[in-house]
């Protein structure tokens, strides 16, 4: 697997997970919310915080298009254009957000919707380009993004394997263009039966040199923890300052406490993977002495006496001859006098 460098962190086999706290549009277009979210992401232990950079006019062509979503316990229907419009930031506000990230020492990422959005992000300074599932098959845009040479972190929600193959080929991923492929289910929230983490195995077999990630749209921490075991190296999840804020994404996003629990669970799961080498841990070596049994004299044994199940058996502690050897010793003769309770040693039998 190719290793990709984001800022000062390597991503790939044997590397620590890279965790992105997804602010998205949960700032509701209010700069103070965005700045507070940066602090929350940092406190949770995330490596990066990600926003979405756009102009509503560059996303929505039909101003009459509406969207119905759940918010504050009820269904809300509103203009898609107006929904995005109120979540826009000016260039001055984006500069403040980037400066806050730098001061807080958390990586700034954002998803551009068009080349003009990317140009602004390049001016601000970004280490990678995050592409949402909605643009996964937007080959002209992705090719344009790839001219920057920046790593592409691409979510593949709604895509089949053939589409993934085509997109990766188009942007040069098979010729070592730095690419991270994020497994995603574009359902908000994603119910357990539609998570399909086994797809990570398929993607790993199909694209063994491309680091994989998991963009988690489920509720709770379990899915990402499991994704660690299936080889995901980059993780992303929506969060909010308050689930009761108005807007389409707040109710299923993690609150600050949930975000920290999610980050901690990924890091704990990574630690739990441990080593592939099958051997006892240091503590197990100590426990082995107390817990396992050794070959012990069950009574006083005379020199020349044959060993059988009446005069030797298995008792704790386990710092003598292994229980595995007892059947080999049956029938052999004692080389010396052995007292009841003594641990047998090599040389005690002939």
8 A C-beta contact, residue 67 and residue 39? no
If you average pLDDT over residues 280-290, what whole number do you get? Answer: 96
User: Rounded CA gap, 167 and 68, in Å?
Assistant: 31
pTM recorded for the entire structure? 0.93
| pLDDT for the residue numbered 231 | 97
Question: To the nearest whole number, what is the mean pLDDT of the chain?
Answer: 97
User: Rounded CA gap, 211 and 216, in Å?
Assistant: 16
37 pLDDT band, cuts 50/70/90, is very high
8 A C-beta contact, residue 130 and residue 103? no
Residue pLDDT, tens place only, 236-274:
999 999 999 999 999 999 999 999 999 999 999 999 999
CATH topology of domain 4-273: TIM Barrel (3.20.20)
If you average pLDDT over residues 119-132, what whole number do you get? Answer: 98
Local structure of 134: helix, strand or coil: helix
The CATH class, in words, for 279-350 is alpha beta
- CA-to-CA dists, residue 261 to 237, 254, 283, 344, angstroms: 12, 9, 28, 52
pLDDT surpassing 90 at residue 290: yes
Domain ranges of the chain: 4-273, 279-350
Residue pLDDT, tens place only, 54-70:
999 999 989 899 999 99
Query: Cβ neighbours of residue 222 under 8 Å, at least 6 residues apart?
Result: none
Residues of the chain above pLDDT 70, percent: 100
Residue pLDDT, tens place only, 174-210:
999 999 999 999 999 999 999 999 999 999 999 999 9
8 A C-beta contact, residue 191 and residue 220? no
7 pLDDT band, cuts 50/70/90, is confident
If you average pLDDT over residues 273-288, what whole number do you get? Answer: 96
- For residue 213, give both structure tokens: 């990630």
Query: Cβ neighbours of residue 73 under 8 Å, at least 6 residues apart?
Result: none
Strand 18-24 relative to strand 234-238: parallel, antiparallel, unpaired? parallel
User: Rounded CA gap, 289 and 8, in Å?
Assistant: 44
If you average pLDDT over residues 81-96, what whole number do you get? Answer: 97
- What is the helix (H) or strand (E) element at residue 44, kind and residue range? helix 31-44
If you average pLDDT over residues 25-36, what whole number do you get? Answer: 99
User: Rounded CA gap, 350 and 334, in Å?
Assistant: 6
User: Rounded CA gap, 306 and 324, in Å?
Assistant: 19
pLDDT surpassing 90 at residue 146: yes
| pLDDT for the residue numbered 63 | 86
Residue pLDDT, tens place only, 107-120:
999 999 999 999 99
If you average pLDDT over residues 87-116, what whole number do you get? Answer: 98
13 pLDDT band, cuts 50/70/90, is very high
């Amino acid at each position: 697997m190719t290793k990709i460098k984001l800022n000062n962190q390597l991503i790939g086999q044997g590397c620590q997970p890279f965790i992105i706290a997804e602010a998205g549009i949960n700032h509701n277009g209010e700069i103070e919310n965005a700045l507070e979210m940066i602090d929350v992401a940092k406190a949770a232990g995330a490596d990066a915080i990600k926003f979405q950079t756009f102009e509503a006019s560059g996303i929505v062509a039909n101003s009459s298009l509406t969207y119905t979503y759940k918010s504050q316990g009820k269904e809300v229907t509103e203009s898609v254009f107006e929904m995005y419009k109120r979540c826009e930031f000016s260039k001055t506000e984006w500069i403040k957000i980037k400066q806050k990230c730098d001061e807080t020492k958390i990586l700034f990422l954002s998803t551009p919707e068009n080349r003009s959005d990317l140009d602004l992000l390049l001016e601000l300074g970004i280490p990678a380009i995050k592409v949402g599932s909605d643009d996964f098959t937007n080959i002209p845009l992705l090719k344009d993004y790839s001219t920057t040479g920046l790593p592409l972190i691409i979510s593949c929600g709604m895509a089949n394997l053939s589409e993934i193959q085509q997109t990766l080929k188009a942007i040069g991923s098979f010729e070592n263009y730095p690419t991270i492929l994020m497994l995603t289910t574009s359902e908000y929230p994603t119910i357990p039966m539609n998570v399909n983490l086994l797809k990570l195995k398929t993607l790993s077999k199909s694209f063994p040199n491309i680091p994989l990630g998991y963009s988690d749209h489920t509720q709770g921490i379990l899915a990402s923890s499991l994704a660690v075991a299936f080889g995901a190296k980059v993780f992303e999840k929506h969060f909010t300052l308050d689930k009761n804020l108005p807007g389409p994404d707040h109710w299923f996003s993690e609150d600050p406490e949930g975000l920290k629990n999610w980050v901690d669970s990924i890091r704990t799961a990574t630690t739990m993977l441990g080593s592939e080498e099958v051997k006892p841990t240091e503590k197990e070596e100590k426990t082995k002495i107390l817990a396992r049994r050794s070959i012990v004299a069950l009574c006083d044994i005379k020199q020349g006496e044959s060993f059988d199940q009446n005069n030797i058996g298995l008792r704790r502690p386990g710092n003598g001859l292994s229980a595995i050897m007892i059947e080999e010793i049956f029938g052999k003769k004692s080389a010396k006098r052995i007292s009841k309770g003594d641990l047998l040693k090599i040389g005690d039998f002939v």
